Amino acid sequence: RADAGPAVARPQLQADLGLSVIGVSWEAPVAPQFALGVEVALFGTYFLPVFNRGDNVVGIGAGLRPTWFAHDDERGLYVTPYARLVGVEGSRDGARGTGMAYALGAFVGWAFEATERLDVRVGGGVQYLLFHIDTERGPLSASTPFVALDLVIGLRR
């Protein structure tokens, strides 16, 4: 790539393969070193019962993901706060319930160029998960911080 010159930030279609989501997002540069992503994702808290931190719910939601990059070419160190709103459902002893879940968090990680058009980001951080759903057999709930893992594969235009 030395003869091609420096990479220029471009919009990306992304696959978000994090701990609590599998999603598709569109991210576009909004200023030097800053990009904004809008996402639609499948969401799940399958991991919370294992650590006695809440119940397992699943759903579909949307989120925003602004990202700051240490470099104009969107490589290297990045910081990403995010917010998601998700319609979820779950069951307790056969009684189903639906409601809304909220996820707020932030990642710090490393972005690198896998190919000329393919970027990969790997990071970690913390998220806060919140939901409360009443069912006939008791509530499904979580109000907890938890580790957040970030894996994003982006296809540049």
User: What gap in Å lies between CA 53 and CA 30, rounded to an integer?
Assistant: 37
H helix runs in the chain, sequence order: none
Closest to 150 in 3D by CA, of 108, 118, 93, 116: 108
Tens-level pLDDT at each residue, the chain (157 residues): 444 445 567 899 999 999 999 999 999 999 999 999 999 999 999 999 999 999 999 999 999 999 999 999 899 999 999 999 999 999 999 999 999 999 999 999 999 999 999 999 999 999 999 999 999 999 999 999 999 999 999 999 8
The pTM assigned to this predicted structure is 0.90
Dmax (CA) of the chain: 66
One-letter amino acid at 95 equals A
List b or e across 100-116, with b for residues whose CB sees 16 or more CB atoms inside 10 angstroms. Answer: ebebbbebebebebeee
One-letter amino acid at 20 equals S
User: What gap in Å lies between CA 70 and CA 89, rounded to an integer?
Assistant: 39
